Structure 1
Amino acid sequence: MGASRSGTVRRPSSGPRPRMSGPGRAPGALGQLRRLYEQAKRAWDRPLTAYYLILGGSLLITTLGLVMVYSASQIQALEYSLSPSYFFRKQFLAAVLGTILLIVAMRMPVRLHRALAYPILVGSVFLMILVQVPGIGHAVNGNQNWISLGGPFQLQPSEFGKLALVLWGADLLARKGDRQMLTQWKHMLVPLVPVTFMLLGLIMLGGDMGTAIILTAILFGLLWLAGAPTRLFGGVLAVAGLLGFILIRTSPNRMARLACLGTSDAGPGDQCWQALHGIYALASGGFFGSGLGASVEKWGQLPEPHTDFIFAITGEELGLAGTLSVLGLFAALGYAGIRVAGRTEEPFVRYAAGGVTTWITAQAVVNIGAVLGLLPIAGVPLPLFSYGGSALLPTMFAIGLLIAFARDEPAARAALAMRLAASGKKRSAGRWNTMRRRAKARPSGER
């Protein structure tokens, strides 16, 4: 049965022989890791990677922020004799409005974004002037930076000043770049620096040092993207540093915040109480936290648990895993913004994307650094995460800008067109198959 016609006996086949790892061949596990690395690298280099990172990362941060605002603000609301979901409902409404702004900004063409630069700047300056008018401006925690809109709603115009500086500064530098004027230092600084200092002056009239720091970071981001020489960049940095030193030195409150860096004691008059209990909240969370809603520090121990120090409550309830997840999402968002700014050939898109990325990244660093005790408490919210509609609305509009820029890349447009064509073919094929099934189901004879 196993013999051939020539009389030779056939040996049963045992299948393909396994590959043996030799000196010139990588072991199986190492080769598999290399293949996985190559696949991940190809996926990371796809044209739509930045688009999905910005869209997915921002939505995840906002959603997780809503959950943490609800958890961190319940006790605060009860202390004010309000419903436990009071702050959450206001934040959810702001998130819905912000999502609409995001979609609008995502659908707007670049030329319309540029056309809005001057109106947004003028409107922001006008509102910041109104803040200083007695009877219109409203003070919160000693800083007069708010306008009451009636009832529980308030507006902080300085938050919209960040968006105004990004759009106006990007349009200004793009127009000067088209005329080859950025090679002269006076055209690079004027009127960008004077207008920024005007915004900073209006903000500092209300005592908001934190927002002034973020606007200064945006200014330096725009100058860096415009290719400012090191000497010019260093000169502007020195002037800003000197002004910051004077403002901190002449304010006992800011000096007290500076003295709380790395402290392990509440200090005289409990001036470092907030910084100390922020560290307590992070330390008590461990690796996986005490559980959502199980924070102890939000029960009157940690001031501002749902705004400036929401990251500390996140660390207490979700642990190191939760805080690292938030950091990873912000890192992905920052990387995607840098990638959009680096791959575009349009100057306005490069400056605007870089300005938005600088804004969100710098604000996240300042907020998280203050919670960790590495930076002074500046009173800035964590972007997309902390409670506050005035901060959430312009930030989500800025995210819509980044999404629009990411979709506008030539490779991304081609990839989206191919996907739309493929989905259209699938829909037409599905309709054709449905029509064929209906035709077969009809009776063949006539009545």
Structure 2
Amino acid sequence: MAADVLGGSGDGARGVPALAGLLLRSRTAGPVRGPAVRGRSTGVPRSSGPRGPRRLVEQARRAWDRPLTAYYLILGSALLITVLGLVMVYSASVIKALELSLPGSYFFRKQFLAALIGGALMIVAARMPAKLHRALAYPILAGTVFLLILVQVPGIGKSVNGNQNWIYLGGPFQLQPSEFAKLALLLWGADLLARKQDRRLLTEWKHMLVPLVPMAFVLLGLIMLGGDMGTTIILTAILFGLLWLAGAPTRLFAGVLAIAGTLAALFIKISPHRMGRLNCIGATDPGPQDQCWQAVHGIYALASGGWFGSGLGASVEKWGQLPEPHTDFIFAVTGEELGLAGTLSVVALFAALGYAGIRVAGRTEDPFVRYAAGGVTTWIVAQAVINIGAVLGLLPIAGVPLPLFSYGGSALLPTMFAVGLLIAFARDDPAARAALAMRQPRVSWKSMRRRVKKRPSGER
């Protein structure tokens, strides 16, 4: 009996140490209660996972890894850039419109109309399957080449700021076909490389280069006939992005880069205007004959903005001091009116859009989606870097607009269609499709019948 009380068994030697341990725990941890004996509360705090900053970091990481993260980043950042761009176009173009004896909202109304049409194109592109995008690659390329040739026909092509890259459509509307060449090259190039990868032909250098590089040089040559070197730089970036995604060897990639760099240096050398722009990198003084006037006043606008800017609409440089305040140098007006906070917000939105595009291209198994998403991301990010770098005085002024932000319907329409491509590819991911399907309400006829209350027998 004594052995049973002390140790819970017939062994008294083991019961004494057990009783001593129980008394020791009761002195250090307080009185022993019933639930503790029954095992419902042991006195040891339960592990509820990481707390404080670690828990927040863990929650952020899980949210970042969700299947729809890229979809929401692309849609949200593109819409925010476009809306903020509309606001800044109105603010930056009012004085320019009044100088031309036009209504103050003239440029804003045209940009707003282009944004509506571009939004419709983005929705259409986002709803189209990848097969239909591939089917449109050749018609878009053929139409773009035809328009680029038409630009050089006297009486049809129109020259703006020394570049003959426009077609007059009547009224206040005109078209710049070179902007659509970016979309044509990436769609056609992505489809071409995807078909060659399916046939396992990309292991040979001739299949990787031909006919992609010759067709790209045809587009570049037609655009350079009009004198638009800024657009040729963007097309060259798209070409290099496609070759990089296709796995071009380093020697092959370096060879194409050397040829493109040599041609670019030649075109810059034979043009005093381009040489002047190259000499204005990092300039802080307009120089002789005000050669660096635009670059220097762009820096002035950014410097006078401070942390939070002078206020929306309160820019001083747009009053005739800064050329092209609503197109190429709208980022400078943004810095002057919204300050460093505004410019960093724009840069963060482009960074988010670029990250989402890389994520879509990296997680897909479809080669066409990978090439097309990578091409669109290269296009938008490279153009944003070139525009912002020129405004900051770090790069030569190339005359390219800030994507989705600057004034220009011909630039906005193909860019919003390209964003629709990214949205379609992000939605087409299997995990994203499953997540979207779970969020859609499923209402069947039987469930609706069960929800309808039975009417009283006398009610009709």
- Same topology, TM > 0.5: yes
Counterpart among 155, 158, 169 of residue 178 in structure 2: 158
Determine helix, strand or coil for the equivalent of 1:424.
coil
Q: How does 1:16-55 map to 2 (within 5 A)?
A: 31-55=51-75
Q: Deviations over 1:16-36 (max 9, x none)?
A: 9x999xxxx99x9x8310000
* Residue 197, structure 1, aligned to residue 217, structure 2: yes
Q: How does 1:196-235 map to 2 (within 5 A)?
A: 196-235=216-255
Match of 1:6 in 2: none
In the alignment, the residues of structure 1 paired with residue 312 and residue 389 of structure 2 have an alpha-carbon distance, to the nearest angstrom, of 23
- Structure 1 115/140 Cα, relative in aligned 2: closer, same or farther at 3 Å? same
Determine helix, strand or coil for the equivalent of 1:145.
strand
Q: How does 1:177-192 map to 2 (within 5 A)?
A: 177-192=197-212
Q: Deviations over 1:275-329 (max 9, x none)?
A: 0000000011111111111110110000000000000000000111100110000
Match of 1:5 in 2: none
- Structure 1 220/430 Cα, relative in aligned 2: closer, same or farther at 3 Å? same
In the alignment, the residues of structure 2 paired with residue 378 and residue 348 of structure 1 have an alpha-carbon distance, to the nearest angstrom, of 30
Match of 2:126 in 1: 106
Counterpart among 407, 410, 424 of residue 442 in structure 2: 424
Q: TM-score, normalised by structure 1?
A: 0.90
* Deviation of 1:376 (Å): 0.2
* Residue 406, structure 1, aligned to residue 406, structure 2: no
Counterpart among 371, 375, 378 of residue 358 in structure 1: 378
Match of 1:71 in 2: 91
Determine helix, strand or coil for the equivalent of 1:83.
coil
Q: Deviations over 1:71-120 (max 9, x none)?
A: 00000000011110000000000000001100110111111100000000
* Deviation of 1:429 (Å): 7.8
In the alignment, the residues of structure 2 paired with residue 300 and residue 254 of structure 1 have an alpha-carbon distance, to the nearest angstrom, of 23
Q: Could you list the runs of 5+ residues in structure 1 that have no partner in the other structure?
A: 1-8
* Residue 386, structure 1, aligned to residue 401, structure 2: no
In the alignment, the residues of structure 2 paired with residue 357 and residue 217 of structure 1 have an alpha-carbon distance, to the nearest angstrom, of 11
Match of 2:310 in 1: 290
Match of 1:279 in 2: 299
In the alignment, the residues of structure 2 paired with residue 427 and residue 72 of structure 1 have an alpha-carbon distance, to the nearest angstrom, of 55
In the alignment, the residues of structure 2 paired with residue 258 and residue 175 of structure 1 have an alpha-carbon distance, to the nearest angstrom, of 40
In the alignment, the residues of structure 2 paired with residue 31 and residue 319 of structure 1 have an alpha-carbon distance, to the nearest angstrom, of 37
Counterpart among 52, 71, 80 of residue 60 in structure 1: 80
Q: Deviations over 1:395-433 (max 9, x none)?
A: 00000000000000011111111111xx33599989976
In the alignment, the residues of structure 1 paired with residue 430 and residue 103 of structure 2 have an alpha-carbon distance, to the nearest angstrom, of 50
Q: How does 1:282-361 map to 2 (within 5 A)?
A: 282-361=302-381
Match of 1:149 in 2: 169
Determine helix, strand or coil for the equivalent of 2:158.
strand
- Structure 1 135/419 Cα, relative in aligned 2: closer, same or farther at 3 Å? same
Q: Deviations over 1:134-153 (max 9, x none)?
A: 00000000000000001110
Counterpart among 250, 253, 266 of residue 246 in structure 1: 266
- Structure 1 431/142 Cα, relative in aligned 2: closer, same or farther at 3 Å? farther
In the alignment, the residues of structure 1 paired with residue 92 and residue 446 of structure 2 have an alpha-carbon distance, to the nearest angstrom, of 49
The total of aligned residue pairs comes to 423
Q: Deviations over 1:158-197 (max 9, x none)?
A: 0000000000000000011111110000110001000000
Q: How does 1:165-180 map to 2 (within 5 A)?
A: 165-180=185-200
In the alignment, the residues of structure 1 paired with residue 334 and residue 448 of structure 2 have an alpha-carbon distance, to the nearest angstrom, of 47
In the alignment, the residues of structure 2 paired with residue 74 and residue 49 of structure 1 have an alpha-carbon distance, to the nearest angstrom, of 38
In the alignment, the residues of structure 2 paired with residue 301 and residue 89 of structure 1 have an alpha-carbon distance, to the nearest angstrom, of 24
Determine helix, strand or coil for the equivalent of 1:116.
helix
* Deviation of 1:268 (Å): 1.0
- Structure 1 147/276 Cα, relative in aligned 2: closer, same or farther at 3 Å? same
In the alignment, the residues of structure 1 paired with residue 258 and residue 188 of structure 2 have an alpha-carbon distance, to the nearest angstrom, of 24
Q: Deviations over 1:332-362 (max 9, x none)?
A: 0000000000000000000000000000000
Determine helix, strand or coil for the equivalent of 2:166.
strand
- 2:183 alignment partner AA: L
* Residue 88, structure 1, aligned to residue 69, structure 2: no
- Structure 1 19/132 Cα, relative in aligned 2: closer, same or farther at 3 Å? farther
Q: TM-score, normalised by structure 2?
A: 0.88
In the alignment, the residues of structure 2 paired with residue 349 and residue 233 of structure 1 have an alpha-carbon distance, to the nearest angstrom, of 22
- 2:148 alignment partner AA: M
- Structure 1 430/61 Cα, relative in aligned 2: closer, same or farther at 3 Å? farther
Percent identity (aligned):
79
* Deviation of 1:128 (Å): 0.4
In the alignment, the residues of structure 2 paired with residue 179 and residue 146 of structure 1 have an alpha-carbon distance, to the nearest angstrom, of 40
* Deviation of 1:123 (Å): 0.3
In the alignment, the residues of structure 2 paired with residue 381 and residue 212 of structure 1 have an alpha-carbon distance, to the nearest angstrom, of 13
- Structure 1 10/401 Cα, relative in aligned 2: closer, same or farther at 3 Å? closer
* Deviation of 1:247 (Å): 0.5
Q: How large is the Cα RMSD of the aligned pairs?
A: 2.4
Counterpart among 387, 392, 395 of residue 375 in structure 1: 395
- 2:182 alignment partner AA: K
Determine helix, strand or coil for the equivalent of 1:340.
helix
* Residue 134, structure 1, aligned to residue 169, structure 2: no
- 1:34 alignment partner AA: R
- 2:58 alignment partner AA: E
Q: Deviations over 1:18-75 (max 9, x none)?
A: 999xxxx99x9x8310000000000000000000000111001000000000000000
In the alignment, the residues of structure 1 paired with residue 196 and residue 325 of structure 2 have an alpha-carbon distance, to the nearest angstrom, of 45
Larger radius of gyration: 2
Match of 1:3 in 2: none
- 1:68 alignment partner AA: M
In the alignment, the residues of structure 1 paired with residue 172 and residue 317 of structure 2 have an alpha-carbon distance, to the nearest angstrom, of 26
Counterpart among 141, 149, 152 of residue 121 in structure 1: 141
- 2:279 alignment partner AA: A
- 1:391 alignment partner AA: A
* Deviation of 1:10 (Å): 12
- Structure 1 232/10 Cα, relative in aligned 2: closer, same or farther at 3 Å? closer
